[in-house]
Chain A
């Protein structure tokens, strides 16, 4: 089981769909950020799974997973500082209070 591509793809699909569920059902900005982390993790799990089972160059997929991790770190930094700024101005981290830039 640990040697089949399908098992890893199934796990990463479940992670992705749980992340989508979290993004759609939560209104708390930090909870939405947590769901986003699940989605990014499912992507990097896919990269590494295909790296083992479908690539000849076994470093290529791992390299891209490193990029995903680095970009996730940058995204969380900016996201959290925006959330803190929003909390300071509005005293809330509910996404429905963030409508001032609505067109």
Chain B
């Protein structure tokens, strides 16, 4: 096995392993920590896809901001060593059935499809992304910034405790 393939398998392994732990462990705090592991794996896969910029963004935004915000919310809303969620076997079995069937169906589709291919060489640079963001995708870019502004104000209004219960 070549070295790139070994690294690819390593990152794929921590992505899938982290995802499995993130949905199966019964303690929410450990779920959030496993989510960080999974996101680190996805960042490694982005490097394999020549998107170093997205790998860095994944680490900064997902691991550095989103996961930390989730950990804060867990600490604010639960005792530190929370009681384990009761196991509802019926619900778990139904969820596993739905997700398993979905996985089987989707992987069959992926196995049978002929995807169009393009040459792998091209302009993956940050400059290209910047031109795309502020050129052809100008309006979506502005809308996303508006959405983020609304999210900030909405979060402040929702959790602000002045004058409300």
A: residues with CB less than 8 A from B are 1-3, 5-11, 13-28, 30-31, 33-35, 37-38, 41, 44-45, 48-60, 62-63, 65-67, 69-78, 80-85, 87-89, 93
Contact = CB atoms under 8 A, between A and B. Distances in A.
Contacts, number: 237
Interface string B105-131: 011001100011111101110001101
B132 to A, nearest CB: 4
29 contacts: A2-B4, A2-B7, A8-B45, A11-B15, A11-B45, A13-B110, A15-B15, A16-B106, A24-B95, A25-B92, A31-B85, A33-B70, A41-B42, A45-B45, A53-B118, A59-B123, A59-B131, A62-B54, A62-B132, A66-B57, A69-B57, A70-B147, A71-B144, A77-B69, A78-B151, A84-B73, A85-B159, A89-B165, A93-B78
- Bin the interface of chain B by size: 35 or more
Q: What DSSP secondary structure best describes chain A's contact surface?
A: helix
B51 A62 contact: yes
Q: What DSSP secondary structure best describes chain B's contact surface?
A: helix
A58 B128 contact: yes
Given A56-B118, A59-B129, A73-B66, A22 B23 contact: yes
Interface of B: 4-5, 7-9, 12, 15-16, 19-20, 22-23, 28, 31-32, 35, 38-39, 42, 45-46, 48-51, 53-54, 57-58, 61-62, 65-66, 69-70, 72-74, 76-78, 85, 88, 91-92, 94-96, 98-100, 102-103, 106-107, 110-111, 115-120, 122-124, 128-129, 131-133, 137, 140, 144, 147-148, 150-152, 154-155, 158-159, 165
